[in-house]
Amino acid sequence: MAEQNIESKLKNLLKQEKIQLWSPPYTQLDNDNQPGTQHMQELAERYALMMGLSIAEVGGALESIRVQAVKRGKRNQTFRETSVATLELQLPKDCKKDLKAKDYLETRLDVLVQEVVDRIGEKFGLRFIKLILNGKTLSLDQRLDLQGVKNHSKVMVLRVSDTRMKQQLSQDEKKNHNESLQRSQKGFQILSERDGSQDPDTTPFLEIADQKGNPLKIPERERKALILAMGLHEKGRSLMKRKQYDDALCHLLQADQHFSGFDSALLSSVDNYAVLQLDIVWCYRALEALHCLSDAGSRLQRAERCFLQCYGEQRQRLLRIKGNSGTEEVLFLRLYLLQSLLSYLNGDDSQARQQLSKVELLYNRLCLDSDKVEQLMALGFTEREVRLGLRACGGDPQKAAIHISNCRQREELRQRERMKRRTRMEAIATLTELGYSRNDAARALHHADGDINRASEVRLVDLGFDRDLSETALRLTGGDIPSATQLLLDNQGVLTPPSTSSASSSPSSEDPASASTSTSAEDDELVNEVLGDISRHEDDYLDLTLEEEMVLQLQIKGPTSSCDK
């Protein structure tokens, strides 16, 4: 990181003085047959004095810049003459023999991405990878040039999970798809087609709501797309917690692609989109994707703009609605920290220090007193509850205890509502299996005050049959509405034992519903799989320990101080 900082500063100085290290006199051979040794030495001495660094350190950085510039010029000439471009690859760290050396691949730009993926896999021993350019995943079945790839483009190579791929996918699918991402997308796609009734415990956490917690009313098509986008974001966050940043970034970028299709007014009314931008840049940091600085800067700008529109310039909207802004302050801490990092890597130490001072103020305010944490946990509160409670109440343990208790009461109310919802939906599912449409089942339950047995009778009464006869027919057919209906029709309301025996036989094995059993089971498996990654706590994204933030903070400013309480 320090080397990047020095090189960025030197590039800024060279640009200001219009010095081109790839041109004479810096490329002319001296008496010792070395290019521009004397001139490079003079430049290193002058810049070292200006920057307060050693001559050797500055000289090494200048030589690195010069060599890169000369090679770039040669590659430009190659591209002009042969149309063969050079791509700079950002490989996974464990695939690099020399962490400081850069990796390149020469290719024409009119080839499919799949061909490049195959070559990268063969050259570097990688399987199941995705290529990322400027924050966008390159499509395997399209050409490089049609997706914005140019000579000297910097491309990130992400390794994606392959466990299930090896077990379940065909060879062609292994070659073309990431199974983990594909399963996530399909699972959330299925979930988005449902109305929430089949997943009452979890679907509320995929609803987009305003700062008061009220679900926003949006068109059905957009609602489905939002569930897909938010679901992929949640999956990405769960992977981030497990430090699986390659897979996480794939999911987050896919979520970003779905979010980007929405009206800006919608995205600015909630903080989901801003948090997603922060999470993507945090993955860039974890993967040391230094070449993504430009895309990271744009994302942080979008995040800050969205936060300000959503919370207010001075968090006034947040204070008015929630009564505090303590828990959301962690988002601003991470925002300022990432902004400081980008400024540092770009060689702008002044801007980096300015943002870092904001980080330190927030960090000292949000860093928790261990005695207070133990005091509250002794009362039976969880560490997550204590962390969020203390931050919401400015570190006051008495207020935090009341705040946490109130939160628990609200959660109990939500749990009871979800339980009522689950019971109702299970009843609807049962009635649907008995022959009701979902609408008819819901209507029957409403008229029967939620009693599933009475609702079954309502169905037959609606068809014009006597209530007592309907009860008898249902009892004789084991509650099977289609059979009970046929029984009443065949016997014109006179239920004799012989006809009862024949009518109570099991339904035909050719029932069309049975044909979809396998598909339904597969759908349920996918949905349950993706729902497993959705946190049951709505404020989970605010629950940061700040341990990683502290480490990064010290890396930027040096180990001068920390929060010890």
What is the rounded distance in angstroms from the CA atom of residue 434 to the CA atom of residue 321? 46
C-alpha dist (Å) from residue 310 to 229, 340, 498, 540: 19, 23, 71, 19
Neighbours of 109 (CB within 10 A): 19
Least Cα distance to 408 among 432, 376, 385 occurs for 385
Give me the pLDDT at residue 351, please: 93
Residue 462 is encoded by which pair of tokens?
A: 């609606």
| CATH 1.25.40 boundaries in the chain | 179-363
Q: For helices 37-51 and 2-16, give the axis angle rounded to 10 degrees.
A: 110
- Residue 379: alpha-carbon gap to chain centroid: 34
Element (H, E) at 135: none
What is the rounded distance in angstroms from the CA atom of residue 462 to the CA atom of residue 255? 46
Reported pTM: 0.78
Give me the pLDDT at residue 173, please: 42
User: b/e string for 222-261 if b means 16 or more Cβ within 10 A?
Assistant: bbbbbbbbbbbbbbbbbbbeeebbbbbbbbbbbbbebbee
What is the rounded distance in angstroms from the CA atom of residue 75 to the CA atom of residue 52? 34
Reported for 9-12, long-range contacts at CB under 8 A and 24+ positions apart, including other chains, are: 9/51, 9/347, 9/349, 10/47, 10/58, 10/61, 10/62, 10/65, 10/347, 11/65, 11/347, 12/347
What is the rounded distance in angstroms from the CA atom of residue 233 to the CA atom of residue 256? 8
Name the CATH topology of 83-159. Ubiquitin-like (UB roll) (3.10.20)
DSSP H helices in 32-106: 37-51, 55-82
* Sheet strands side by side (includes 129-133): 103-108, 84-90, 154-159, 129-133, 136-137
Give me the pLDDT at residue 177, please: 41
State the CATH architecture for 179-363. Answer: Alpha Horseshoe (1.25)
DSSP 311-371: H-TTSHHHHHHHS--TTTHHHHHHHHHHHHHHHHHTT-HHHHHHHHHHHHHHHHHHSPPHH
- Residue 240: alpha-carbon gap to chain centroid: 9
C-alpha dist (Å) from residue 558 to 1, 353, 416, 555: 12, 12, 51, 5
Give me the pLDDT at residue 403, please: 92
| CATH 3.10.20.90 boundaries in the chain | 83-159
SS3 content of the chain, % helix, strand, coil (to 5): 65, 5, 30
What is the rounded distance in angstroms from the CA atom of residue 249 to the CA atom of residue 251? 5
Residue ranges of the chain with per-residue pLDDT less than 50: 163-177, 197, 199-202, 204, 497-517, 559-565
What is the rounded distance in angstroms from the CA atom of residue 413 to the CA atom of residue 219? 28
User: b/e string for 418-443 if b means 16 or more Cβ within 10 A?
Assistant: eeebeebbebbebbeebbbeeebbbb
What is the rounded distance in angstroms from the CA atom of residue 310 to the CA atom of residue 212? 12
CB 397 within 8 Å of CB 551 = no
Q: If you ran DSSP here, which 8-state letter would residue 115 be given?
A: H
Least Cα distance to 103 among 156, 163, 25 occurs for 156
User: b/e string for 151-187 if b means 16 or more Cβ within 10 A?
Assistant: bebbbbbbbbbbeebeeebeeeebbebbbbbebbbbb
Give me the pLDDT at residue 501, please: 39
Least Cα distance to 188 among 230, 250, 247, 137 occurs for 230
Give me the pLDDT at residue 274, please: 94
